[in-house]
Amino acid sequence: MSQSFYFFSLAPWVVFFPVIGLLFNMFFGGWILEKSPHGEKIVGWIASIAAGLSFVVAVLLGVSLLSQPDGQIVALAEWIAIGDLNIQWAFQVDTLSVTMMLVVAGVGTLIHIYSIGYMHEDVRHHHDISRYRRFFVFMNLFIAMMMILVSSNNYLMLFVGWEGVGLCSYLLIGFWYDKGKDGIGNSIAAKKAFVVNRIGDFGFLLASFIVFWAFGTFEFTSIFEQAPEVAAAYPAVLVAITVFMLIGVTGKSAQLPLYVWLPDAMAGPTPVSALIHAATMVTAGVYLIARSYAIYSLVPFSQNLVTLVGAVTALFAATIAVGQFDIKKVLAYSTVSQLGFMVAAVGMGAVVAGKFHLVTHAVFKALLFLSAGSVIQGVERGHHYAEHHSNHNKTENQARDFEKDLDPQDMRNMGGIKDRMKITFWVFLSGALALSGIPVFAGFWSKDEILAEARELNTTAYILLSLAALLTAFYITRQVLLVFFGKPRSVAAEHAQESPPIMTVPLIILASLSAIGGILNLPHIHTFTHWLEHTFGHIHAGEFVISVAAISTGLGLIGIFLSWLIYNPQRYERFFATPPAKRPDDPLRRIIGPLFEASNNKWWVDELYAAIIVNPYKKLAKFLAMNVDWKFWHDWFHDKVLVGGFNRFADFLTIKIDLGVIDATANGLGDLTKKVAASLRKIQTGYVRNYALSIFLGMVIILGYLIFR
């Protein structure tokens, strides 16, 4: 007992370990990479071990919580002390935060290890080994920031982590900053993520301000204690807090209407997409709502709003995922959709279901992304092999010219990878089954719990989410079929090679977890529910409803079946055999036509935003820059008024005051002296008798004065 108590004080180390790792790599990484032939492995393993130690600490905290389930607040340092305001840098160790820590550090460590293999290819392609260090420094920084986010005991410290992960996201999306469209496409994607997140952060900041105004503190515990009183006294305040917080959530967790940055964020390296843009950072919003559950549960209006946003996002993103050809874009929209599930769940009060799905999704979506990364590199390797091979054979070379600029992420260039990358195929399949919610796999239990809760709590959300579940099964089956089945549709795919063990081992671990992750919260046992109860108080445990399970499984199977009908290998091969000019780009286009066009173009949301927000904003900015700033402030106010006025004043000072008064005085004195001197010099005749006479007269005058006075 006393020993487990001791572990709580280790809480700050979940942040310290990654920070130590990143500092070490920052200062010595370059040297190690230069000196050691195994530099890459050393740097990568240092980062992985830092993340791994963080995971160990999280496990120890979890173990401590088993005996002391109420947790503890571990104060580290005083942060801000102004008058009565005293904000501590303190770690809240409770079941909710430790769950997040376990996910972040656990999945994070596996992704770090995977990255050692994945980023080796990057170094090989760019011939610049220092990129390796940069990558792992950012990754460790991300883990540290995410840990701050999930472990803080107040909204202000949470905000530090919130911004920190946003920064890491920006840095890592722009990791290949010189690539992408026109050589700056990736930088633009990074900027977009940053700016869109800033809109969300503005909401979060406003929410924090109102929280402080209403409660006089940032600390969770006292806020949640006071929440019922404040809700009774000023209901509008809580509505404002929750709605502004929702804006923050839509930014960070990529919900409507701020989800647009996440698909573009796929410009980053795939491990980044897996870690930041699927498993952890984007779930920060879900965590925030779950953490603020005590506030949300008092405001039914906001709960409904959150649920609706989540559910609509889930369906909306799923429809887009159907029409994508980029292997990572499908997963990106799938992530948006799954985040919608979680947000809807925590919105309607099914916190446990939402968190449960967060955990399982972190595992299986990280798995899907990482195996997609494995596929991409496999295809790239095949591409290089083919290129190298064709150099010996001129005629083949000409035939394969079109392959020069092959897009290794386009699923249309894949096919048949099942036989070439067996491990990757099986792990991807495990993730796909979990995502489609096929029984026994982790995703089934968590998604089913959300659907069961939704049927009870919010029928609209239930219908939307069920449709989304159907589409989910459809698009992920389409992806599996297009990527892994059939015959290779390009030389690169034909020569695809399996990834090294350093990448496949983490994949296998994640695959097993996503297969058996459901044991975390099996119906009637409710391990996870009881675990989280210590944080949320008594919560409604999602009951396993056999009809809901049957319906959702049925929907999943229908999705898979429909997908199989359209994309089964024989059919798709026949379709693909037709020359590209005589067929649409996807068999689905024949069936639903314009709807596929809409899905493929992401419902033109980016264009819509460009038309109603971005372009007018740019125009306004241009107007402000050209007219207000340049013409008014610069040309008129600055040049005419300030500079002109100053010049005139200076002219006045120079000509009138300086020349007219000061110089004139000085010169006049000189002239006067000269004139007086000129008249006086006439006295100086040089004749002795004149001087004698003057002396004589002077004597006479002085004596006369002395005598006659």
Partner 1 sequence: MLPIQYFLGLSIILFTIGTLGVLIRRNAIIIFMSVELMLNSANLAFVAFSHMHQVLNGQVFVFFTMAVAAAEVGVGLALIVSIFKAKQSINIDDINNLRG
Which residue among 642, 692, 701, 703 contacts partner 1 (CB under 8 A)? 692
Q: One symbol per residue from 318 to 357: x for binding partner 1 (CB under 8 A), - otherwise; what is it?
A: ----------------------------------------
Residue whose CB is less far from partner 1, 646 or 696:
696
d(CA 342, CA 354) in angstroms, rounded, equals: 5
Token pair belonging to 21: 């790792």
Residue whose CB is less far from partner 1, 233 or 692:
692
Residue whose CB is less far from partner 1, 688 or 706:
688
With binding defined as CB under 8 A, does residue 706 bind partner 1?
no
With binding defined as CB under 8 A, does residue 687 bind partner 1?
yes
Query: At what angle are helices 39-67 and 130-151 packed, to 10 degrees?
Result: 10
Q: How many CA atoms lie within 13 A of 624 on its CB side?
A: 6
- Of 462-491, which residues contact partner 1 (CB under 8 A)? none
With binding defined as CB under 8 A, does residue 694 bind partner 1?
no
| Residues touching partner 1, count (CB under 8 A) | 13
3-class DSSP assignment, residue 72: strand
Give 136's contacts (C-beta < 8 A, 6+ positions apart).
21, 22, 25, 29, 43, 44, 46, 47, 112, 115, 119
Q: How many CB atoms lie within 10 A of CB 488?
A: 19
Residue whose CB is less far from partner 1, 404 or 681:
681
Residue whose CB is less far from partner 1, 394 or 682:
682
With binding defined as CB under 8 A, does residue 693 bind partner 1?
yes
Residue 40 to residues 34, 46, 60, 128, Cα–Cα distance (Å): 9, 10, 30, 12
Residue whose CB is less far from partner 1, 82 or 688:
688
Q: Which stretch binds partner 1 (CB under 8 A): 43-51, 284-292, 413-421, 692-700?
A: 692-700
Smallest distance from partner 1 to CB 689, Å: 5
Smallest distance from partner 1 to CB 688, Å: 5
Which residue among 404, 538, 689, 709 contacts partner 1 (CB under 8 A)? 689
Which residue among 652, 663, 696, 703 contacts partner 1 (CB under 8 A)? 696
Smallest distance from partner 1 to CB 676, Å: 13
The backbone torsions φ and ψ at residue 75, rounded to the nearest 5 degrees and listed phi first, read -80, 135
With binding defined as CB under 8 A, does residue 3 bind partner 1?
no
Q: Which stretch binds partner 1 (CB under 8 A): 183-191, 506-514, 522-530, 687-695?
A: 687-695
| Residues in a beta bridge with 88 | 78
Smallest distance from partner 1 to CB 672, Å: 18
Smallest distance from partner 1 to CB 696, Å: 6
Smallest distance from partner 1 to CB 684, Å: 3
Residue whose CB is less far from partner 1, 402 or 687:
687
How far does CA 572 lie from the centroid of its chain?
Answer: 37
Smallest distance from partner 1 to CB 661, Å: 34
Smallest distance from partner 1 to CB 691, Å: 9
Residue 702 to residues 583, 695, 706, 709, Cα–Cα distance (Å): 133, 10, 6, 10
Residue whose CB is less far from partner 1, 6 or 691:
691
Residue whose CB is less far from partner 1, 519 or 699:
699
Can you give the three-state secondary structure of 485-519, one letter per residue? CCCCCCHHHHCCCCCCHHHHHHHHHHHHHHHHHHH
Residue whose CB is less far from partner 1, 524 or 681:
681
Token pair belonging to 673: 């002296």
Q: One symbol per residue from 645 to 684: x for binding partner 1 (CB under 8 A), - otherwise; what is it?
A: -----------------------------------xxxxx
Report DSSP state, residue 385: H
Smallest distance from partner 1 to CB 648, Å: 49
Smallest distance from partner 1 to CB 697, Å: 10
Smallest distance from partner 1 to CB 662, Å: 32
Token pair belonging to 200: 């969300």
Residue whose CB is less far from partner 1, 654 or 685:
685
Q: Which stretch binds partner 1 (CB under 8 A): 138-146, 193-201, 566-574, 689-697?
A: 689-697
- Of 86-125, which residues contact partner 1 (CB under 8 A)? none
With binding defined as CB under 8 A, does residue 685 bind partner 1?
yes
Residue 396 to residues 63, 227, 391, 400, Cα–Cα distance (Å): 61, 72, 8, 6
Residue whose CB is less far from partner 1, 82 or 683:
683
Q: Which stretch binds partner 1 (CB under 8 A): 499-507, 600-608, 668-676, 686-694?
A: 686-694
Token pair belonging to 275: 């870690």
With binding defined as CB under 8 A, does residue 686 bind partner 1?
yes
Cα distance from N-terminal residue to C-terminal residue, the chain: 120
Smallest distance from partner 1 to CB 694, Å: 11
Query: Can you point out the beta strands (E) in 292-361?
Result: none
Cβ atoms of 70 and 536 closer than 8 Å: no
Cβ atoms of 521 and 539 closer than 8 Å: no
Q: What angle do CA 281, 286, 289 make, to 5 degrees?
A: 130
Whether the bond into 257 is cis, omega within 30 of 0: yes
Q: One symbol per residue from 212 to 251: x for binding partner 1 (CB under 8 A), - otherwise; what is it?
A: ----------------------------------------
Residue 319 to residues 93, 454, 472, Cα–Cα distance (Å): 39, 20, 9
3-class DSSP assignment, residue 68: coil
3-class DSSP assignment, residue 547: helix
Cβ atoms of 486 and 569 closer than 8 Å: yes
Give 52's contacts (C-beta < 8 A, 6+ positions apart).
105, 109, 112
Smallest distance from partner 1 to CB 709, Å: 22
Bridge-based pairing state of the strands 72-82 and 85-93: antiparallel
User: Which of 111, 189, 115, 100 lies closest to 150, judged by CA?
Assistant: 100
Q: Which stretch binds partner 1 (CB under 8 A): 150-158, 337-345, 381-389, 688-696?
A: 688-696
- Of 622-641, which residues contact partner 1 (CB under 8 A)? none
Residue whose CB is less far from partner 1, 66 or 697:
697
d(CA 43, CA 313) in angstroms, rounded, equals: 39
Residue whose CB is less far from partner 1, 404 or 682:
682
d(CA 360, CA 447) in angstroms, rounded, equals: 9
d(CA 278, CA 162) in angstroms, rounded, equals: 16
Which residue among 1, 82, 236, 688 contacts partner 1 (CB under 8 A)? 688
User: Which of 72, 103, 105 lies closest to 90, judged by CA?
Assistant: 72
Residue whose CB is less far from partner 1, 655 or 692:
692
155: part of which helix (H) or strand (E)? helix 155-173
Instruction: Give the length of the chain.
Output: 709
d(CA 162, CA 282) in angstroms, rounded, equals: 10
Residue whose CB is less far from partner 1, 538 or 682:
682
Smallest distance from partner 1 to CB 686, Å: 3
Smallest distance from partner 1 to CB 707, Å: 15
Smallest distance from partner 1 to CB 698, Å: 13
Residue whose CB is less far from partner 1, 650 or 697:
697
Binding site for partner 1 (CB under 8 A): 680-689, 692-693, 696
